[in-house]
Amino acid sequence: MPNKVRKAVFPVGGLGTRFLPATKAMPKEMLPVVDKPLIQYAVEEARAAGIEEFIFVTGRGKTTIEDHFDHSYELESVLNERNKQSLLKELQASVPKPGSIAYIRQQEPLGLGHAVWCAKRLVGDEPFAVILADDLILADTPCLAQMAAAREQAGGGNMLAVMEVPKAHTSRYGILSPGKETDNLIEITGLVEKPAPEKAPSNMAVIGRYILEPTIFSLLEKQQRGAGNEIQLTDALSEMLGDVPFYGMKFDGTRYDCGDKIGFLEANIAFALHRTDMQDDMRDIVKKIANNL
Ligand code: UTP
């Protein structure tokens, strides 16, 4: 039986330049989809997969994330006075248990690989998940829970969430070389970060959900800068190929790139259409706008 995955790392140290000016003074992970910040969806997804410890790799200007996952006594007492009990309960339930949440600062945004490496001591010697909050996934079974179940069946190792992308977009993602494919699992035989379409080994892209063996840390430690002059997680991962079971999982669900303005707008519409309390109104609005185009 592979070790259970108990810890998740949330790298939130990026600058979010694709979403300026919104992200000038506000972390992109705090952008709300409908009424909830992206980072809260990510934490809820982790909880649903059985994660018990939440490790945030933060950077400058990210303190609102810490405040979001803490009690706000003033607000809670006002909600109590105004008898808004269900809202109060909802807010209190979103605060992780004392001692289960930790923050470590990535002093320079040197890339995703470097951000994950910063969590080394907090993760220790056990498998862990990585969730990129700006990749938001709408799914019946949360994506990380799908991956944890698939990883148990595969006997442990690395499990990455993957999806098909248009060939013209391969230079935006880590792209895999596919080996044997069974049901929704693809054995990964190669990985390359942001290849040009003519050099891409496939159009299967890695998106922001990973379950990783802790041996990644020693590889990240000596990782040189790669694509975009950043320390890339993909480069360290490709050095683990052949050493551990290594799979990509074609998850059930739809992924929205909320680090990108169009992806973020699409996510808001899709999530609102999915919510029973607003889908009727939202459908009317979308129809009205479409009819006026
Ligand atoms: P992105 O590639 O989206 O980079 O990072 P970014 O800086 O956040 O945004 P853009 O491209 O400038 O608009 C993917 C994930 O890795 C984290 C980001 O916070 C995001 O969740 N990241 C990236 C870090 O934590 N540290 C880094 O140095 C880079």
Q: Does 109 contact ligand 1 (Cβ within 6 A)?
A: yes
The answer, yes or no, to whether residue 226 has pLDDT greater than 70, is yes
Residue closest via CA to ligand 1's atom 21 equals 132
Query: What's the CA-to-centroid distance between 16 and ligand 1, angstroms?
Result: 6
Q: Are 87 and 79 in contact (CB under 8 A)?
A: yes
- Residue 134 in contact with ligand 1 by CB distance below 6 A: yes
Q: Would the pTM of this model clear 0.85, i.e. be above it?
A: yes
| Ligand 1 contacts CB of residue 17 (under 6 A) | yes
Whose alpha carbon is nearest atom 15 of ligand 1? 132
Q: Which atom of ligand 1 is nearest to the CA of 109?
A: 28
249's CB contacts (< 8 A; 6+ apart) are: 146, 147, 150, 159, 160, 161, 162, 184, 185, 186
Share of the chain above pLDDT 70, in %: 99
Q: What's the pLDDT score for residue 21?
A: 94
pLDDT at 107 > cutoff 80: yes
DSSP 256: E
Please indicate whether residue 285, judged by its CB atom, sits closer than 6 Å to ligand 1: no
Poorest-confidence range of 58-67, 192-201, 266-275? Answer: 58-67
Q: Which of 15, 43, 169, 171 to mutate to test the pocket of ligand 1 (most atoms within 8 A of CB)?
A: 15
Give Cβ neighbours of residue 183 (< 8 Å, ≥ 6 apart): none
Tell me the pLDDT tens digit for each residue of 151-188: 999 999 999 999 999 999 999 999 999 999 999 999 99
Has residue 2 got a pLDDT over 70?
no
Domains of the chain (ranges; CATH) run 7-259 (3.90.550.10), 261-293 (no CATH)
Quote the pLDDT of residue 111: 94
Tokens 């009990």 sit at which residue? 85
Q: What is the atom index within ligand 1 of the atom nearest the CA of 57?
A: 25
12 CB within 6 A, ligand 1:
yes
| Distances in whole angstroms, Cα of residue 84 to Cα of each of 32, 40, 77 | 21, 21, 10
DSSP reduced 3-state for 175: strand
pLDDT per residue over 74-93, tens digit each? 999 999 999 999 999 999 99
Q: What is the pLDDT of residues 196-210, one digit of tens each?
A: 999 999 999 999 999
Atom of ligand 1 at shortest range from CA of 18: 13
For ligand 1, is residue 194 a contact (CB within 6 Å)? no
Cis previous bond, 127, omega within 30: no
Q: Is 113 in the pocket of ligand 1 (CB under 6 A)?
A: no
User: In this model, does residue 1 exceed pLDDT 60?
Assistant: no
Ligand 1 atom 5, closest CA: 14
Q: What CA–CA distance (Å, rounded) separates 143 from 208?
A: 10
31-45, 230-244, 256-270: range with lowest mean pLDDT: 230-244
Instruction: Tell me how far the alpha carbon of residue 171 lies from the centroid of ligand 1, in angstroms.
Output: 16
> Cβ(34) to ligand 1 under 6 A?
no
Q: Quick one: pLDDT at residue 51?
A: 97
How many whole angstroms from 14 Cα to the centroid of ligand 1? 4
Residue 61 pLDDT grade (very low, low, confident, very high; cuts 50, 70, 90)? confident
**Cβ–ligand 1 contact at 111 (below 6 Å):** yes
Contacts of 134 (CB under 8 A, 6+ apart): 16, 28, 29, 38, 208, 257, 258, 259
Query: pLDDT tens digits, residue range 119-163?
Result: 999 999 999 999 999 999 999 999 999 999 999 999 999 999 999
